[in-house]
Each structure stands twice: as structure tokens, then as C-alpha cells.
Amino acid sequence: MGVAADMTILDSVVIGAGQAGLSSSFHLRRLGIEHVVLDANARPGGAWQHRWDSLSMADVHGVADLPTATAPGGSEARANEVIAEWFDDYEQAHDLPVLRPVHVREVVDVDGVLGIRSVEGGQWSARTIINATGTWTNPFVPSYPGQRDFAGEQWHTVAYPGAEHFRGKRVIVVGGGTSAVQFLGELAPVTDVLWATRRPPVWNSGGFSGREAIAMVQERVAGGLPPASVVSVTGLALRPQEEAARRTGVYDRRLPMFQRLETGGVRWADGTFEPVDAVLWATGFRPAIRHLAPLGLRSPEGGIALRPGARDVQASVTTVADPRVQMVGYGPSASTIGGNRAGRAAALAVRDHLGRRESA
């Protein structure tokens, strides 16, 4: 892909229209920076529109305000509808230049200009990009012996069908994160459920701050390591609706992790067999950044190193390998609050980079 003589070179392209992408676009527009937002979804809502139906606004851990717009409060309404409608209203209220559906296939360097190609055949050229693709489109399922031989159902968080689907089925939930805890609490009143994790879960005793956890995640990405989840540092906590499930013993996990899957269940290291009808892989996600591979941003350690933010660890957005590329919702900004702050930081970084380029 070359840059055609008549192709407009934008100041920036934002990839993704979730919380971080919308925040980035708002701040770019406020700074007068010409840009478009490319979103793979057919409608507004980011990854939130794909969350399971039983996840209510009362269940989510908190959604940060968007710039000038207060986030919806807790309620029994479905989060995948409420947040999608809020994002839609925000895009329209601020006339954000979102194009959809656009599935970005790759970003390449063409004579010092960033070329963006989509699966649909569209092409854009830009001096900078802000990547806000999150993780939802890149679910992670670990590989275990016998996985293909298992005759029951296998689900991942990304496609969780709701607790009622599993009524009467014996389920094993695999994973040590927040989603696993929520699924266990939701499934326990409905059916027989087991919990398996590779490591013992760390429960939050209230002695560790979120800021400390984010700083530790930032240290990893500053060193070029793949980002770890914040909950891996802060630990897990039970919400009031999960306390009843705790009394059933559902959060008493078996050690160590099962060694293999078999036709009708799982086999533990000591040889014992546990029959199960379904496996729910609550094993998380990985950053959806395959389209950035042509730019060679990964460090030898496997992650994308980010420059430390001057005053705020969640403002660590500029890639060490290429200052034209800003990463929001990645590493220390992988939360609604972090993504929002990172959007502002990314827009300012774009402005500074363009200023340096024009001065040069």
C-alpha cells in the first residue's frame, strides 16, 4: 500500500470506539486535530454491547464518566443496553467522526506515514494513531490435554449464555479473576458448580490500593513485558450478592488444577475423576493488537513498552518504539477510569508530536 497523491493524510486515526476511543476523539476534537475513529462494531457500545445479558449496572465494578458526561448509575437494567445507549448519545452529542463497521486489518509504515488497511478494503493515511481496541475481541483459552475429546459444552466469558442455560448441568468454572467469581456466584443457586484455578486465588483484604496496583502494571509495560491484569495484584473481593453463594462452599476450590479433560469430565493429578457437563473458561483476554504487528512495536520481552506518564501512571500511552503510536486501554489504562485519562493523555501526545513535526 502506497500513499496516493490525492489521499488525505489525517493528523490522527483512532482505532476503536469504546470508552478510551471516545475519550480520545473528544480530546482530539477539542484540540482541533483532524481525525476519524474506526470502529469494528456495527453500532455504538464498544465491548459493553457484547456483555452477557445477566450483567446489570448494579453488577459492574464502576464505569467512569466520559469527558463532560456523567456515567449511568447502578440499577438492575442490563449493562449491555445502558452503556451502549450512553455511548451512542455521546457520539451524537459531540458529533464524533466515527466510521463503522471498519475492521482494521493492519497498520503499516509507508515512507513515514502510517497506512491503515481495513478488512472491508478501506484505506486511510495518518501521521499518528491512537489504538483503543481493548481486549474483548481476543479471548484467551488455555490448552489442556484431552480438550478436543471432551463431549460436553465449552464456553468462554466472551460468549457466556447466562446461568439459566446451565440449569441441571454440572459446571466447572476455570479462572482466577473477577469474572470467574461472578459466574460462580450466579451459577451456585442454579446448578452444581466447581471452581478450578492454576494458582490459589488472592482475596482482597482491603490493604492494597488500586493506585499501587496500577503502578505495578505500569512497571511491567515500561519494561516491555506483556501487561498483567490489575486484579492479579489487588486480589478478589465478593460483592453482597455473592456472599450467599460463599456459604454453599462454591468458592472452596480444589488444588492443584486438573491435569486433563476426558470425554465426560476432568482428571486430577492424583488420578481422581470429576464428571462435568460443561466447562466455563473464565480465563481472560489478551490485548487485541495483531493489526499493529507490521510496525514492530513489541519488545524482546513480548509486550509493547510505553513511556512513563509524567504525573499519572495511567497517562503512560506513548510507545517507546514509535512515538506516533499511542496505546489507550492498554496496561495501566486498562479500565474505564484509566482509559478515560489515557484518552486525554493520548490526544496531548498527538498534539505534541504534530507540533514537533511541524517545527522540524
Biggest alpha carbon–alpha carbon distance for the chain: 70
190-219: pLDDT as tens digits: 999 999 988 776 666 555 455 555 666 666
Q: What is the pLDDT of residue 339?
A: 73
Pick the CATH number of 153-201+236-281 from 3.20.20.70, 3.90.1150.10, 3.50.50.60, 3.40.640.10: 3.50.50.60
Q: How many helices (H) and strands (E) does the chain have?
A: 7, 14
311-327: pLDDT as tens digits: 665 678 999 999 999 99
E strands of the chain, at which residues?
9-15, 35-38, 98-99, 104-110, 113-118, 123-131, 153-156, 171-174, 193-196, 260-262, 265-267, 273-275, 278-281, 325-327
The three cell numbers locating residue 303: 509486550
Q: Where residue 234 falls among pLDDT bands split at 50, 70, 90?
A: low
272-302: pLDDT as tens digits: 999 999 999 999 999 999 999 999 999 888 8
Determine the topology of domain 9-137+285-359 in CATH: FAD/NAD(P)-binding domain (3.50.50)
CATH 3.50.50.60 maps onto the chain at: 9-137+285-359, 153-201+236-281
Average pLDDT over residues 84-94: 97
Q: Where residue 115 falls among pLDDT bands split at 50, 70, 90?
A: very high
Average pLDDT over residues 48-67: 86
Q: Which pTM was predicted?
A: 0.86
